Structure 1
Amino acid sequence: MQPTINRLAVALSACGLLSVAQAQGAPEFKFSGFGTVAAVHSSEDQADFVATVFQPRGAGASDSWSFNLDSKLGAQASAVFGPQWSAVVQLVSQQNHDNDWVPHLEWANVKWQATPDLALRVGRTALPVFQLSETRLVGYANATVRPAPEIYRILPVTSNDGVDLSWRHTLAGGRNTVQAFFGTTKVDLPTGTIESDRSWGLASTFETGDLALRLGYSSFNVKIDADGVNTLNAGIAAFGTAAAPLPTVAARAAVLADRYRTEDMATRVLALGFSYDPGQWFVSGEAMRFDTESVLADTTGWQLVGGWRIGTLTPYVGYARIKADIDEEAAFAATGSGPLDAAAANVVGGINRTLQVLNGSQKTATVGLRWDFMRNTALKLQWDHTRIDEGSWGRLTNFEPGFEPGGKVDLVTVAVDFVF
C-alpha cells in the first residue's frame, strides 16, 4: 500500500480511537489471526501463474514450485469501547509488488453502532464488491484454496479508504443487509500503480434459513500507471505527433488515444452471488459483469463451487469462466506507404497485444479435498485445469518468448490454512 494512503487510514482511526477512548474509558481488547502456508506447481513453463496482480513472480516460468503465491499471515486487533463504539486494525504479510513480505495495513477503522441494525465505519475497510470480500484473504474460511481468479483478479483491490454504512432489516421473512461505501484506493503493482479517486457502491445480502443471496453494484474512476500501458500510450502519442500534418490521420490517432486511455476510466462492476449450506453439503455461485471505457475490455465472469462434508473430510469441485468482449483494433493506412504506415501498423499491433494480455479469457475446472485434521487448521489439496481461449493469454503474467496464446495449464496446490 502507498504510505500516503496508510497514513490517511491510520489518522482517521487514531482520531476516532482517541475521542472514543476519552468518552468511554478503558476498552476491551481482542487479538486474532489467520494464515496459509502453501506450495503451487504450474505445468506452464513459459509464463507465471500468480494469485494476485500485485505479485512480481509466480509458479511456472519463474519457479516450478512456488511457496509465495498463497502463503500469508494476518493479525487483527479489535477494541470495544462500549455498546456503540469499537475499532479494528488488521495487518497482513504476503508477497508484495517488490517481492518483499513487509506487512501492509489491510483494515484500520472505527465503528459507530448507531442502533442495533445501523452501523457506520470510518477508515480502511474491506472493499465489499464480491461475495467473499470480507474473507478472501482468510483461506480457512473458504472452501477452495483461493477465490477463482476468473472473478477476483478482475478487481484485485481488497480495501477502501473512506466510509462504510450497513443497515440490517427484516425482509420477506428473512434478514437483509444493505451496505454502502464511498472512498478512494491506491495499490502498488510490480511495474506501477492502480488507483481510484471516486469509489462507491451498494450491496444487498438477503439471508433466510440456509440460503443467502447477494446483489452488488460498484463504480470506480480508475487510473493505471504501469510500464506496459504507459508504453502503449507513449506509442499512440508519438504516432499522433508524427501524423499532425495529416488531419484525417491525426484525428484517428486522437480517437485511439481516448479509446485506450488509462486515466479517468469509468469502471462499473455488477456482482451476483448465492450460497446454500444446510450442513452436510454446500453449493455457492457468483457472477460478475465488468464494464469500462478504457484499454480494459468489458468482461463477464462466473463460478460455481460445491462440496460434501464427510466427517473431517470435504471433497469439493468447482468451475469458473471468464470471457472478455475484445474487438481488435482494425489496421489502417496512413499514407499508403512509408514510415507513417509502419508506425500505424506498430500502434495497432501494440493495442491488440495489450488487449489480449490484459483481458485473457479462460475456463477452469477445479477438484479439491479439504481435511480438518486438527482444531482451527485445515489441509487442502487442489488441482486446477485451465483451458485458455484461442488467441488469449489467459490470467497469466511474465511471458517468456516461447509462450503461445491458448493452450492448457494445470495447477497443483498443497496448502495448510489456520486461524487463531
Structure 2
Amino acid sequence: MISAQRLRSLMILWTVLCLSGVASASNSVGIKHFRFSGFATLGVTKSGDEDLGFHRDLDREGVFDGDWSIAADSLVGVQFDVTVNDQFGGAVQLVGKDRTEDSLENSVEWAFLRYRLNPNWTVRAGRIGYDLFMLSDYRNVGFAYLWTRPPIEFYAPLTFTGFNGGDIAWAGGFGGGTLTGKIAYGNTACTFNILGNLVDIEARNIIAATLSWESDRWQFKLNASDTQVGEKGGFFPGSAPLANILQQVSPIWPEVSRVLDDFYVSNSHIFYYAAGLAYNSNPWQIQAEISRTDPKLNLYPSTLQAYVSAGYKVQAFTPYLMISGGQVQEDAKQAPDAPVLPSAPQISGQLVAIQQGVQSVYDALNTDQTTLTAGMRWDIRYDTALKVQLDHSWVGQKGFSLWDTRNIPTQDKKVYTFSINLNCIF
C-alpha cells in the first residue's frame, strides 16, 4: 500500500512532469506563454528572550535571547508558469527557507495544472495555495506587501500554505470590479515546532469556500473552511506520549481523566472564518483582516485574530503603523492539582512534574498576544524595496502559542522584534 507521504510526492512529481512535457511539446505545437520569475528576501532579525523565541511561522526555528538571525525572514523562490492556449496551463513554485523539517516536497508551494472551461470558469488540480486570506497568492513575496512580514498573530497559526487537491472558481464583472467565487478540496501535512518538539500534523478533507471582490482601489474577501485534524478515536497529534503517562498514573490521580478527555479526539473538525478589506490609492495603503478559529477539539481553544494596518507614501518612502492581536475566546484550561503522597515523596515530585507538563501543553496552544508595529518601506527601484520594522509584543503568561519555547514563562512578557529586510522580484 502506498503511504500518504509517498502519494503526495508522486502527485507533485506527476504535475511537474506534465508541465515539463508541456514545455517540451512547445517546440512542435507552439506555446502561447512561458514565464520564469522569482522573488527573494534577505532579512536580518533580532528578537526573543531567555524563554521565548521568535519565529514568523510555526514550522521555523526560534530566535532566542535577543540574538540576530538571518534565517528568520530570509527566503528565495522561483516560479515557472506555462500557458499552452486559452484553456490549458499550469504553474510550479518552489520556495527555499528555514524550516524545522526541510525537504524538496516541503519546498514545493505550488504544482498545479489549470483548465479554463470558459471565460468565467476555471478548474485547477495539484498542489494549490490556500486561498483563506488577503495575502494567499503572495504570502512569501515580501516585495508585494508593505511590512517586513505578514502580522504574526494573524498569519503564523496558518502554517499550512498549500494543499494537494483541486478547486473550481467562477469570476466575472460586478459593480465596477471583479467578483470571484471559489470552492476547494484537498489534504496536506506540516511539521510544527511545539514546546521544542517536532509534531507532524495532517489536515485532511479540507473544504474551503472563498468570495472576493476587487477593483482598482478596493479589495474585499470572505473565507470559510472545514478541516479535519487527528484521527477520531486517538489522541491529539503530539500528545500521545503524555497521554500514555497520564493513563498510567490515573489509578492514584483520578482527576487526570478530564485531561485525557481533552487530549482525546472525538470530533476532529476545525472551522475557520475570515474577512478582509483593503484600500490602496496613492498615498494611502490601508488593510485589515479578522478571523475566528473554531475547533471542535477539547484541547484546542477557539481563537480570534485580527490586525489593522495603515501606510502613507511620500515619494519613495512609506511609513506605516499596525496593531495586531490574537486572543483565545475561552477560559484558560488549568491542569488538576497533583496529589500529595506523604509516604512516597519521590512519586509526588514526579506527579508535580507531570502536572506542569500538562499545563505547558494547555498554555502552548493558547494565544494571548497584542503587537504594535511601526516601520518604513523604501522603494529603491521598481523591483527592490528596503524595509525597517520594530514590533512591541505583549504576550500573556498562558498564551504563548506563537513563540518557540525554551522555558515556560512565569509571568506576562514584553518582547521587542527588530527587522531589516531587502525584498526583490526578478
Q: Say yes or no: TM over 0.5.
A: yes
For 1:231 and 1:161, how far apart are their aligned partners in 2? 23
Give the alignment partner of residue 355 of structure 1, picking from 346, 353, 362.
Answer: 362
For 1:98 and 1:309, how far apart are their aligned partners in 2? 39
CA contact (8 A) 1:94 1:101 kept: no
Deviations 1:377-415 (A, max 9, x none): 0000001111112443352113247x5441201111000
Residue 409 (structure 1) aligns with: 415
* Cα distance, 1:124–1:274 mapped onto 2, change above 3 Å: same
For 1:320 and 1:199, how far apart are their aligned partners in 2? 27
Within 5 Å, give how 1:92-107 maps onto structure 2. Answer: 92-98=95-101, 104-107=107-110
For 2:103 and 2:18, how far apart are their aligned partners in 1? 30
Residue 319 (structure 2) aligns with: 315
User: Matched residue of 2:399: which SS?
Assistant: coil
1:133 paired with 2:136, answer: yes
* Cα distance, 1:111–1:101 mapped onto 2, change above 3 Å: closer
CA contact (8 A) 2:23 2:82 kept: no
CA RMSD in angstroms comes to: 3.2
Deviations 1:233-291 (A, max 9, x none): 33333333454699xx4xx6555334223686311110110001122111000001011
Normalising by structure 2, what TM-score? 0.86
User: Matched residue of 1:60: which SS?
Assistant: coil
For 2:192 and 2:239, how far apart are their aligned partners in 1? 17
State the 1:131 CA deviation.
1.3
* Cα distance, 1:45–1:329 mapped onto 2, change above 3 Å: closer
Residue 8 (structure 2) aligns with: 5
Q: More displaced, 86-95 or 290-299?
A: 290-299
CA contact (8 A) 2:60 2:98 kept: yes
State the 1:88 CA deviation.
0.6
Within 5 Å, give how 1:106-117 maps onto structure 2. Answer: 106-117=109-120
Q: More displaced, 198-207 or 252-261?
A: 252-261
Deviations 1:62-94 (A, max 9, x none): x71000011000001111111100111111110
- The one-letter code of the counterpart of 2:41 is T
Deviations 1:337-364 (A, max 9, x none): 8779877765554332212122231100
For 1:353 and 1:336, how far apart are their aligned partners in 2? 23
**Residue identity (%):** 22
Residue 215 (structure 1) aligns with: 222
Q: More displaced, 21-30 or 334-343?
A: 334-343
Residue 377 (structure 2) aligns with: 370
For 1:407 and 1:39, how far apart are their aligned partners in 2? 23
- The one-letter code of the counterpart of 2:127 is R
User: Matched residue of 1:50: which SS?
Assistant: coil
State the 1:320 CA deviation.
0.1
Within 5 Å, give how 1:94-243 maps onto structure 2. Answer: 94-98=97-101, 104-190=107-193, 191-223=198-230, 232-243=239-250
Q: More displaced, 263-272 or 210-219?
A: 263-272
For 1:308 and 1:284, how far apart are their aligned partners in 2? 12
- The one-letter code of the counterpart of 1:87 is G
- Unpaired stretches in structure 1, ≥5 consecutive residues: none
For 1:257 and 1:16, how far apart are their aligned partners in 2? 48
State the 1:173 CA deviation.
4.8
State the 1:171 CA deviation.
3.7
State the 1:141 CA deviation.
0.2
Give the alignment partner of residue 418 of structure 1, picking from 406, 421, 424.
Answer: 424
User: Matched residue of 1:285: which SS?
Assistant: strand
* Cα distance, 1:10–1:243 mapped onto 2, change above 3 Å: same
State the 1:47 CA deviation.
2.5
* Cα distance, 1:369–1:263 mapped onto 2, change above 3 Å: farther
For 1:64 and 1:199, how far apart are their aligned partners in 2? 38
1:30 paired with 2:31, answer: no
User: Matched residue of 1:88: which SS?
Assistant: strand
Normalising by structure 1, what TM-score? 0.87
Give the alignment partner of residue 270 of structure 1, picking from 269, 273, 293.
Answer: 273
* Cα distance, 1:177–1:99 mapped onto 2, change above 3 Å: closer
- The one-letter code of the counterpart of 1:129 is L
For 1:254 and 1:148, how far apart are their aligned partners in 2? 38
1:331 paired with 2:345, answer: no
* Cα distance, 1:102–1:260 mapped onto 2, change above 3 Å: closer
For 1:13 and 1:416, how far apart are their aligned partners in 2? 30
- The one-letter code of the counterpart of 2:421 is A
For 2:205 and 2:239, how far apart are their aligned partners in 1? 25
- The one-letter code of the counterpart of 1:234 is P
For 2:52 and 2:335, how far apart are their aligned partners in 1? 28
Give the alignment partner of residue 42 of structure 1, picking from 47, 61, 67.
Answer: 47
Deviations 1:27-73 (A, max 9, x none): 332100000000001152432101111112x3223x71000011000
Deviations 1:289-320 (A, max 9, x none): 01113322211010011101111111111010
The alignment of Structure 1 onto Structure 2 pairs a total of residues equal to 410
1:82 paired with 2:89, answer: no
Within 5 Å, give how 1:383-402 maps onto structure 2. Answer: 383-393=390-400, 395-400=402-407
For 1:127 and 1:255, how far apart are their aligned partners in 2? 35
